[in-house]
Structure 1
């Protein structure tokens, strides 16, 4: 399974959506349209038009897929529809179109809408949904019941109704439910609403659960689980060709894309150029806290700022950024494996002409099977002063034998090592390296290019005591700190091992 930072929109999906809908901003995760399946999508688009909205390409795509009919059963192909999309993209109009279509076209249907709270649901139901209907060409085709606790828009011809509910365990209880809509899912901290809806939908063959939201926070447990599950379902769909019963759509800007770049906005905001402009988004960027802008407009999860570890001077890290910094020829590499062995990082360190030390993560990928071939290639290309790896007791220690077997040897003479040999670090070396990097950060002698994985590791790192000193602590850190460990070890290898290296050539050989 890939991660959110490595998964890319399948080229086949991007091409299909461009051809069918003129959609140039495809979702990062989304199912294809099965043309062999009939769909009620166009009917929903007609309802949107009657409501006064011209469907945008992304809205037509979502309708067409979400409302596909399985030709073998005659039922909806998808029982659940998840929509993870940023603010101001037309989510509310999409939801309203689906709900009005359900009650206007189907007899004796019950649709229920839920938002953050019952009060918020009532406000949106009355101030947005009902006002839109009253101002549309559909006015007069329904009656409204506004009794508190019994609100409903009742379609005259079909006797179907659209009501609201609260975010409680009892929500949705009562008569059978045909369409349940959970809006602003980021505000729901558990699955009580879904669990309440499900029993009321069991006996309805054409029932659907729709949920929609922009990104949430660490507390958005239900939404974060739904997003993780939805991504996995879409990735398996594209790997196996087997469609699940959930249609999941997510527009998202991976963390490594800069928030202030219009190209980032164009990659994750499908309404850009239709109902919102780049000037609008730029104004929001200037107005909002960066983390809130990321949540609202890049659909990223807003994470709580981790408490500060007194040993890691992360406040100094932003001032050490030099986006144009590059490694020099005298470079040291280091390897570090995450505690769960899910990923491995290779970092480089080199001394710049101004005396500052360049730090960079040159590779970070899942697992460990790729590491030895990668190090062999880097060693051949760069002829580094050393390749550092933590020894016994560290996750990367298991790679030492394979590295030696690949020709990356441990020095025979520790006082006179050769270029490219292993620097196997003991506990004392690691403690020394950690303290040295902290000093370098405080003194401004380290430089980095603000790579996402490395910066995240600095911000989430935790330490533990070793005697009167300290070392980085993989167990208690808030994120995978292998990028930071690798950079720390590479710097140590450059400055401690580097001066001991005996070059295997005479500089005079360069002249002649």
Structure 2
């Protein structure tokens, strides 16, 4: 079945991709008779003077699919899309349509006096985003020129009262339909025809979701929307919704392949009331993949955002944050890290440093896909505790040799570097650094397990200090290991993101404590040139 083509979509490499990467397929062709989405789009354009982006139109058309009796097909709708793509705008438009138009559509089933729209989030402030948008359109008593300009006279005339009491904010129409916003835990015992749970990723336990998810159960044709960016390892509530949505999509594709796309048969054996729509970059993509950026950011090219502008954020964010916030990828879910993140955080010392004159050992490591290289350092503090630190990270590999050359020119006493010498991308550094006069401490065989275990021992026993470095902290949060014989070693491939900064810290610490540093003063100054032998 072909999807609806959204008028205004631009098909080029500079605009966002309208259709989500993962979505629940419609049960029948989507037209003005089979989806209320078309009515919402018209309401936005004619009444609100808002031109929605193509992806927002696509979402409304698909998520507001109707059954033959006029009720909504989906009782629950989960939407994932990267930040700053217009979630608040599309939800504000939808809520305004629910409140002023949809509330009167079926008075025999749900009279307006029982038609409540509830906006919820982890905190009241988070829930107020769409509410402030709707209030600006319908406020009958605008207090400034800007508010007057935003107000829509037709909606102003329909509002009986706006409650401005903090914690009790709400809008009530003359028909008695209402819209309230609350923190999730304050929703209990209320009943609603429509509910929106914003920033679902912020729910780290079930209490808020359990309260909100029950309020629409007893209302005909009700809908509960959860809209969010991708989550992290704490986002347990969102993870369950994502897993269910993805599983149902997988079931549909398997059924379609086996039954020649028979939707009726699928509907008779599967839950078709659960709508899942995910705009995200595909797994395994590089951070600067233009198509991946366009897939996760469907508003690109239609407003202020551009592909190039988004890509420019790569160096200013940790990789984990960039993938979550910008690529809408789930990078830390269901991970039991090898190093305890809580213990690691307790060892943070913002003033920690290696004093001048103390021995420093470096380590360089590159991600399994050769996309990112990290250089870390280890040395002893005045109190005898080891200090570890990430000192450089950049895309690719070639930059590291020149960086190390410049570093040694500045600090000639730094000449030791630990490198895994077999079975990884960083092997390519061993020969050129050795030839340039560096004391290279090879990490291989049993030393791989010793690095991993010794580093974890230091964290467990509190015998280490580090700085506040989010790029390193994120890797601690998700680093997993694999078995190498009887040893545990860090696993670059199975960890949810690059962990080479952490590996480099562990290797530098191991070399610091197991070698004397006297066995190799530099034979040549790096300023004479490190010869690159990469092939």
| Cα distance in structure 2, aligned partners of 1:185 and 1:320 | 32
Deviations 1:99-158 (A, max 9, x none): 111110113210000123124324x356444235451424443231112333211223x3
Per the alignment, residue 182 of structure 2 pairs with 165
Deviations 1:259-316 (A, max 9, x none): 123232122211111122224313433433322121111112353894559xxxx974
Alignment of 1:265 onto 2:262:
no
Per the alignment, residue 3 of structure 1 pairs with none
Per the alignment, residue 186 of structure 1 pairs with 201
Deviation at 1:473, TM superposition (A): 9.8
Per the alignment, residue 247 of structure 1 pairs with 275
Alignment of 1:202 onto 2:217:
yes
| Cα distance in structure 1, aligned partners of 2:165 and 2:78 | 31
Q: TM-score, normalised by structure 1?
A: 0.58
Alignment of 1:461 onto 2:481:
yes
Alignment of 1:435 onto 2:450:
no
Aligned runs of 1:70-469 on 2, under 5 Å?
Answer: 70-71=67-68, 73-105=69-101, 106-107=103-104, 108=112, 109-122=115-128, 124=129, 127-134=132-139, 135-137=150-152, 138-142=155-159, 143-156=161-174, 158-168=175-185, 170-174=186-190, 176-240=191-255, 241=263, 242-243=266-267, 244-275=272-303, 276-303=305-332, 306-308=337-339, 316-318=364-366, 434-435=445-446, 459-461=479-481, 466=486
| Cα distance in structure 2, aligned partners of 1:52 and 1:61 | 18
Distance 1:321 1:77, change over 3 A: closer
Per the alignment, residue 29 of structure 1 pairs with 22
SS at match of 1:61: helix
| Cα distance in structure 1, aligned partners of 2:308 and 2:156 | 35
SS at match of 1:64: helix
Distance 1:319 1:125, change over 3 A: closer
Distance 1:282 1:464, change over 3 A: closer
Q: TM-score, normalised by structure 2?
A: 0.56
Deviation at 1:235, TM superposition (A): 1.8
Distance 1:190 1:52, change over 3 A: farther
Distance 1:128 1:289, change over 3 A: farther
Alignment of 1:64 onto 2:51:
no
| Cα distance in structure 1, aligned partners of 2:291 and 2:200 | 27
Aligned CA-pair RMSD:
4.1
Distance 1:131 1:74, change over 3 A: closer
Distance 1:293 1:317, change over 3 A: same
Per the alignment, residue 527 of structure 2 pairs with none
- Kindly indicate whether the alpha-carbon contact (under 8 Å) linking 1:177 and 1:197 is maintained by their aligned counterparts in 2: no
SS at match of 1:317: strand
Structure 2 unaligned residues grouped into runs of 5+:
12-16, 105-111, 140-149, 256-262, 341-361, 372-420, 426-442, 453-474, 497-535
Distance 1:280 1:82, change over 3 A: same
Aligned runs of 1:472-511 on 2, under 5 Å?
Answer: none
| Cα distance in structure 1, aligned partners of 2:365 and 2:34 | 55
Deviations 1:54-76 (A, max 9, x none): 111111111111111111x3311
Alignment of 1:51 onto 2:48:
yes
Deviation at 1:229, TM superposition (A): 1.0
| Cα distance in structure 2, aligned partners of 1:114 and 1:125 | 10
Distance 1:139 1:46, change over 3 A: farther
Per the alignment, residue 500 of structure 1 pairs with none
Deviation at 1:91, TM superposition (A): 0.9
| Cα distance in structure 1, aligned partners of 2:181 and 2:327 | 29
Distance 1:21 1:195, change over 3 A: farther
- Kindly indicate whether the alpha-carbon contact (under 8 Å) linking 1:48 and 1:93 is maintained by their aligned counterparts in 2: no
Deviations 1:378-431 (A, max 9, x none): xxxxxxxxxxxxxxxxxxxxxxxxxxxxxxxxxxxxxxxxxxxxxxxxxxxxxx
Per the alignment, residue 3 of structure 2 pairs with 16
Distance 1:434 1:284, change over 3 A: same
Deviation at 1:53, TM superposition (A): 2.3
Distance 1:199 1:35, change over 3 A: same
Distance 1:20 1:130, change over 3 A: closer
- Kindly indicate whether the alpha-carbon contact (under 8 Å) linking 2:337 and 2:479 is maintained by their aligned counterparts in 1: yes
Q: Which moved more, 1:258-267 or 1:218-227?
A: 258-267
Q: Which moved more, 1:210-219 or 1:21-30?
A: 21-30
| Cα distance in structure 2, aligned partners of 1:228 and 1:235 | 10
| Cα distance in structure 1, aligned partners of 2:306 and 2:73 | 35
| Cα distance in structure 1, aligned partners of 2:241 and 2:217 | 20
